[in-house]
Structure 1
């Protein structure tokens, strides 16, 4: 007879088993967990986890709570209250994940699932809202106009390559700086595909492709030739002639976009948002948008395109139809 796997019961059984084992055996198991989690999680995820747990432990000491797992659910609920209005609800969710992972590392049941904590999260969302702040969009029209204003200096040739990759591929900054020359796959019509070996939604490297237009391909190839890049070199590099060829910091993409567009409020994610909104304006179907952005769920493209979809809703169409008949 088959039984459904219950992760909570499994963790509880493990915790009970730990209580009955020797102190040395418990420490060995915890050390094994830390070693395997270091290999399983991305370096950025581990950095965030350590930073968040350090802040939580510091807050607990300041407020007189014991931060050792299992943490009192009243303490976690109070921490959620403290975060309310200071950080977005999505950030609170990330912090609760880190606290839960802190419990898992000790093979303790997470108190973040306690009803007191759930109610605290609901109360914070009700009081401060749960809206996600989107990056200001940078659509294709504005990006092309920006590119056309650039000249032919070495810096501007590099910037053109950056802007085309950003607006055509819709990739995150971390992926834009990760592309290598060998990831550029030419197509017969003059366009190209950029091979995405890994991404936020593909941590195990199944692989995907992003589109690069004919104009974008020409700009990237010209930069590759100007910079003398080889197959294993990153496409996006520093523009100085004698600089070391290496992957750039993802934050640089935002700085380039700000400088080229003259808009201090935009970021590397702006082209991703703008691309989705352009697609909705052209009435592209959601599945195609998800493929282009390599999303595994419709949640984010739906969020990015919510304003555009409202202007294309049945209410808007009915209003337009009756306005014409007046």
Structure 2
């Protein structure tokens, strides 16, 4: 008698299209593929449905090289696939949860914090941009990302029609969708006149027919599609490198550094935490508190 075919999780995954952000979809897919590869490498013919013993062994093996947060995210992806396949979910079993707790205790560590791209760094990064189309785009991206306190995914998701030029020379910006706003209700933010000028310089070169606010440039021509979110990190690090920063400082910057640095600057100026949370679209004060720790150190100097 033939064994029943293993469930096809990839086909089930297609049902998620449009329900999650593209970055989330890629992360979940990579997590499930990591579990699938582990199963094959350990002689298990297929990952689904998973057993409690399989997951405990997977967690123990992952703990040798992966962070606690990565393991938790992979379990979320595995849980999601079981639900899509209408299979019993083993991730909530006490033995699985205990295995996760052991990893957390073994690898107790504070999350790595991105270096804040504060106003002082921003000025240096803008000055270091070349006088090229790429420099025009990157100046506008860095300045806008800082003033809007955007996540990298929010920055690359902006469209030209999300910006409204006001009579005072600033932009009113609609940030439509974010990690914490999956319904896409959005939030409103405003730029300075300086940032508005940088954006207008970019738009004048880019032209009016491009839908995304920021787009790739190929052979000095704009391409009508949005940038990948990962390019934001490269733009920040390249700006730090061009500004002559030390390698350790360059490595500490990330795609979220503009958001972190702007929040730190607002705290230094005496803006209260609730207002900073509204400006950056934070829902958890605990996450924001980690961003502001280094700024707190300077408040009393």
Per the normalisation by structure 1, the TM-score is: 0.77
In the alignment, structure 1 residue 110 sits paired with structure 2 residue 97: no
Q: Deviations over 1:44-88 (max 9, x none)?
A: 333333332222122123324465544221221121111114122
- Indicate the structure (1 or 2) with the bigger Cα radius of gyration: 1
Matched with 2:123 is 144
In the alignment, structure 1 residue 166 sits paired with structure 2 residue 145: yes
Where 2:190 maps in the other structure, the secondary structure is strand
Where 1:249 maps in the other structure, the secondary structure is coil
**Deviates most, 257-266 or 112-121:** 257-266
Per the normalisation by structure 2, the TM-score is: 0.83
Matched with 2:258 is 271
Matched with 2:70 is 91
Matched with 1:285 is 272
Tell me the distance in 2 between the aligned counterparts of 1:238 and 1:99: 34
Matched with 2:215 is 237
**Deviates most, 39-48 or 282-291:** 39-48
- Structure number with the bigger relative contact order (C-alpha 8 A, sep ≥ 6) is 2
Matched with 1:194 is 173
Tell me the distance in 1 between the aligned counterparts of 2:71 and 2:110: 13
Where 1:284 maps in the other structure, the secondary structure is coil
Which consecutive unaligned segments of at least 5 residues does structure 1 have?
1-22, 321-326
Counterpart among 188, 197, 200 of residue 218 in structure 1: 197
Tell me: CA distance 1:52–1:31, structure 2 relative to 1, closer, same or farther (3 Å): closer
Counterpart among 46, 59, 65 of residue 25 in structure 2: 46
In the alignment, structure 1 residue 299 sits paired with structure 2 residue 277: no
Tell me the distance in 2 between the aligned counterparts of 1:283 and 1:77: 48
Q: Kindly indicate whether the alpha-carbon contact (under 8 Å) linking 1:89 and 1:130 is maintained by their aligned counterparts in 2.
A: no
Q: Deviations over 1:19-55 (max 9, x none)?
A: xxxx9xxx9xx99976643343334333333332222
**Deviates most, 44-53 or 138-147:** 44-53
The size of the alignment, in residue pairs, is 286
Q: Kindly indicate whether the alpha-carbon contact (under 8 Å) linking 2:129 and 2:135 is maintained by their aligned counterparts in 1.
A: yes
**Deviates most, 92-101 or 276-285:** 276-285
In the alignment, structure 1 residue 205 sits paired with structure 2 residue 184: yes
Tell me the distance in 1 between the aligned counterparts of 2:18 and 2:238: 38
Matched with 2:156 is 177
Counterpart among 261, 268, 273 of residue 240 in structure 2: 261
Which consecutive unaligned segments of at least 5 residues does structure 2 have?
none
Tell me the distance in 2 between the aligned counterparts of 1:57 and 1:246: 33
Q: Deviations over 1:85-123 (max 9, x none)?
A: 412211111100011112212223321111111111111
